[in-house]
Amino acid sequence: MANMYIHGADFSDKAMQGLAKKLATGLDLQIGTGTGNVADNLANSGRGIFWVSKLMWVGTTAQPSCQAALPAACTNANKFVFLEHVRFGNGVLQTSDRDASTGHPGAARDTFGRITVDVVKTANAAVPEPYQTKFYNLWQVSSPATSRTPLADGQIIYVVEGYFKSPDLSLGALQGNGVYARWFF
């Protein structure tokens, strides 16, 4: 899914959600019926949920993203902002202890999950706290151990996350309620 997303797959499209369901065969991902685009397809049963997000790093007020918006209006300087956010599967599985690592945008989205406001100027397009700090520490703090350098102004991250409930999962003394996986591109 993550590879398809970075190559342009639109997971707000019910047909692409159907393909995700086929990829998750045996895991009981339910997406409901119908066609078209729906950014929040969460009224389903089943044992799985996916969050698909496209984020952008907005640099300092001296860098191009803020300069284009006028530095004084650059509300989201030094922040990650949402460009897209799509959720599908069983919305009941989305709880405070198992949720998207990005949080969810407060800004308006269209049926494709795209943010419909100027993400540089609009505060609720920013990744909310505490996720903002976590992403900053993950992507903007240099790490010699991983040879990672901070993202540049305007650089984009694609994030695909999934959670599948598995109450029958047991690894000896470790009892679990499910499996969560996250991919960054």
- For position 17, what pLDDT does the model report? 97
Residue 37 confidence (pLDDT) above 60: yes
Residues 162, 21: Cα–Cα separation, whole Å:
12
CA dihedral 66, 69, 74, 79 (to 10 degrees): -50
Contacts of 61 (CB under 8 A, 6+ apart): 67, 71, 74, 77
- Whether the model pTM is above 0.85: yes
- For position 97, what pLDDT does the model report? 66
Quick: pLDDT tens for 40-58. Answer: 999 999 999 999 999 999 9
Residue 179 confidence (pLDDT) above 70: yes
Q: How many domains does the structure of the chain reveal? A: 1
- In which band, very low, low, confident or very high, does the pLDDT at 105 lie, cut at 50, 70 and 90? very high
- For position 143, what pLDDT does the model report? 74
User: Which among 183, 34, 23 has a CA at the least distance from the CA of 111?
Assistant: 34
Supply 84's token pair.
């897209």
Residue 90 confidence (pLDDT) above 90: yes
**CA angle at 150 for the pair 117 and 148, rounded to the nearest 5°:** 135
Q: State which residues form the domain around 174.
A: 2-184
Average pLDDT over residues 66-86: 96
**CA angle at 29 for the pair 26 and 32, rounded to the nearest 5°:** 130
- For position 174, what pLDDT does the model report? 56
Residue 175 confidence (pLDDT) above 60: no
Supply the mean pLDDT for the chain.
91
91-105, 106-120, 151-165: lowest mean pLDDT where? 91-105
Q: What are phi and psi of 28, to 5 degrees?
A: 60, 50
Give the SS3 label for residue 159: strand
User: Which among 32, 55, 50, 67 has a CA at the least distance from the CA of 140?
Assistant: 55
Average pLDDT over residues 162-170: 77
**Pairing relationship of beta strands 178-184 and 170-171 according to DSSP bridges:** unpaired
